[in-house]
Amino acid sequence: MRITGRANKDWFLEDDARIYIVDTTLRDGEQTAGVVFTNEEKIQIARYLDQIGVDQIEAGIPVMGGFEKDCIKSIVNLGLKASIMAWNRAVIADIKESLECGVDAVAISISTSDIHIEHKLQTTREDVLKRMSDAVKFAKDNSLYVSVNAEDASRTDIEYLTEFALVAKHAGADRLRFCDTVGTLDPLTTFRYIRTLTDAVGIDIEMHTHNDFGMATANSWRVFMPGPIM
């Protein structure tokens, strides 16, 4: 979810304040052990999500091809009120697959923590910035709404994460997804990260929290509460 509007104690009364719900059930939810959806179930879930007012539905990963890509196209063709987003690596070929599905938004995802950069991507911080920036520019050139996903953001050096967010914004990204990939956040740490990013970058931030230690809801809600934790 993400929020726009000023952070004060009555932020929810402001005319421009709103919480946006981005639902990842059809992509991230299916990565849960033992959970598999048929295409018919995914389409019905998308209808239900739209009916309850979800603003954006992350429908899947087009580059997987086959039934996954067919299902995303079917969801796009439902004509729902919700924006339909596809998940992508920071790879232009992935985004081309998303464009073929007709989605209006893409998530461009890449790791930002040093442990992921070294051991998962086996590359450098500079290369991560270049891959992300090139992918964002390509997506914006094709008139897509872009969320840049900072994978493992909660274990990322804050100075580098701020640089990553600034590069994303300058490349044209509409928002940053802050991913607590291994579920290690607590509310105080969440507040410090998000306040630093919003003050330094001024970009909409989406919280994507995992519930490994039962803190996902508390960490998400902390983003919307002004002032220090007492």
Predicted local confidence at residue 19, as pLDDT: 82
Predicted local confidence at residue 223, as pLDDT: 64
Q: State the DSSP code for 163.
A: H
Q: Under CATH, domain 2-210 is a member of which superfamily?
A: Aldolase class I (3.20.20.70)
Nearest-angstrom CA–CA distance, 177 and 165: 10
Predicted local confidence at residue 179, as pLDDT: 96
DSSP annotation string for 180-218: ETT----HHHHHHHHHHHHHHH--EEEEEE--TTS-HHH
Predicted local confidence at residue 12, as pLDDT: 58
Contact at 8 Å (CB) between 116 and 151? Answer: yes
What are the C-alpha distances in Å from 124 to residues 60, 107, 149, 208, 215? 28, 21, 17, 24, 31
Q: What is the pLDDT along the chain (230 residues), one digit of tens a residue?
A: 454 544 445 555 677 777 889 999 999 888 888 888 999 999 999 999 999 999 999 999 999 999 999 999 999 999 999 999 999 999 999 999 999 999 999 999 999 999 999 999 999 999 999 999 999 999 999 999 999 999 999 999 999 999 999 999 999 999 999 999 999 999 999 999 999 999 999 999 999 999 888 999 888 876 655 444 43
User: How many H-runs (helices) and E-runs (strands) does the chain carry?
Assistant: 8, 9
Q: Would you say the C-alpha torsion 40, 68, 28, 47 has a positive or negative sign? A: negative
> Residue ranges of the domains in the chain?
2-210
Nearest-angstrom CA–CA distance, 177 and 170: 16
Beta bridge partners of 146: 106
Predicted local confidence at residue 41, as pLDDT: 97
Classify each residue of 176-191 as buried b or exposed e, where b means 16 or more C-beta atoms within 10 Å of its C-beta. Answer: bbbbbbeeebebeebb
Q: Are strands 56-60 and 2-4 parallel, antiparallel or unpaired?
A: unpaired
Indicate the pTM of the whole model.
Answer: 0.89
Nearest-angstrom CA–CA distance, 24 and 54: 11
Predicted local confidence at residue 7, as pLDDT: 47
Predicted local confidence at residue 31, as pLDDT: 81
Nearest-angstrom CA–CA distance, 89 and 64: 11
Nearest-angstrom CA–CA distance, 59 and 168: 23
